[in-house]
Chain A
């Protein structure tokens, strides 16, 4: 390789490398490293605050389902497009208003375009007696928090 060719290649390499570096940096810049969003794990009320049946907590986007002494927490975000399904007591299903997905009382998809069942979140009793919900931990439907009243 002669000197002219070497310098030409070096020039190209430097120019393209600069453009690539700046582009990559710009794209990376657009991906935030810190979020100021509501936490995915949080405390809600005490078990006795929730009556028998399905309780909707709109701020947390969850349902607290109480059957006697057992408590379960299920996501209120439809797995299809993120709308909020509503509980229809008489048919014992969740119905999503956006695209008509229907989930049974176990969260399973009965009908509609939702690809996945509604996830159940881990619920524990915190030391102050309130329920601690961890939205990062998905648990099977069979698992529930039992609090003797």
Chain B
């Protein structure tokens, strides 16, 4: 009796039994709102870990962890100048597991910047941004920017010295933009100083506007991966080149798009079923393992290391040295060299512009979906030099700048005032 009832309930939720054959495995994917973002089948080679290093998924998992811990933090945090810092102290010392939740949020935020950046490097070094995936690269660049702004807007919320002065520096960075800089700064801060207006603005951006934007971009990013025929593959690229150089007469290319109602050259289906495996369980198992791995790393970091919380924000005392968040400290380093228009505006703007144009400037065809293909030596060198330069700037600003922004070796002691 009871067993029959339970079975009826289960059958009403899942429309089929345990997926142990190919047909049920495809149904398991297509019948499920959450799973059907996956293709029913994937190429075996795209599952190989070294192809992608799982970096896109890791970025997404960190976004998920950030969303959940972020919502939890919102239950205690009030974005009010008189209270914000007190709430942080409570989270740190009073709320059960508050310190772990906050640490997870903080370390995931840092990790997400690293993961998104490395994901971009992976896509560049494997030339996976080529036709038809150019625009997905562009979306990826926007996602990198949104990730940075998410992290930055969250940086102010603890309302401690670290937060206050980092945001003071960054907001003045906006102010140096020609013509509209001052107006932009006024709008971002909701005034002329980092005060209550700035706090509530950063809060709303951090918990509503930017996460929503990020989610939207992530969904389109994923959707396009599917529509572009999954991850880039060397073979697919070779076929595309062949097709461009002249189709053999009479041979039609199939398309997922409108199921043969229209002709299209995008994803080729049905040509190599033996090199594909069902997503259930092959892809899903890998996803779960990767998620557990990310969880374990973030959890371990959150148990071992506490997120920083300095003294309460004090507009009268600038800590010496005062630094922007590490991902913007490279910019701060550039800024300390002279005219802020170059360091603060032109350099980052041209970097973003160059990134956006990458897939449109690369006319090469060889080396798609292969790491560091020799035919792409020049592109690889240029990208590496710029990346390394950015890392050196960040390293110098973060580890080699002491009081009064003087240069010190990372192991050198700073003079005590």
Contact = CB atoms under 8 A, between A and B. Distances in A.
Interface of A: 27, 30-32, 35-38, 58-59, 61, 80-84, 86, 95-100, 112-113, 115
B363 interface: no
Nearest to A79: B172
A80 B336 CA distance: 9
A59 B169 contact: no
B403 interface: yes
Contacts, number: 84
A120 to B, nearest CB: 19
Contact of B169 (A58, A81, A86, A100): A81
B210 to A, nearest CB: 15
A82 B337 CA distance: 16
Category for how many chain B residues contact A: 35 or more
Interface string B293-337: 000000000000000000000111111111000000000100111
Contacts of A100: 336, 404-406
A97 B320 contact: yes
A82 B404 contact: no
Contacts of B319: 97
A147 to B, nearest CB: 26
B196 interface: yes
Contact of B335 (A61, A97, A99): A99
Interface in B317-359: 317-322, 332, 335-340
A58 B314 CA distance: 9
A100 B322 CA distance: 11
B403 A36 contact: no
Contacts of A96: 318, 404-405
Interface string B161-195: 00001001101110000000001001100111101
21 contacts: A31-B187, A35-B191, A37-B191, A37-B193, A61-B315, A80-B172, A81-B168, A81-B172, A81-B335, A81-B340, A83-B165, A96-B404, A97-B403, A97-B404, A98-B165, A98-B321, A98-B322, A98-B332, A99-B332, A99-B335, A115-B340
Nearest to A88: B404
Contact of B190 (A27, A32, A61, A113): A32
A98 B316 contact: no
A32 B190 CA distance: 6
A83 B335 contact: no
A59 B315 CA distance: 8
B318 A84 contact: yes
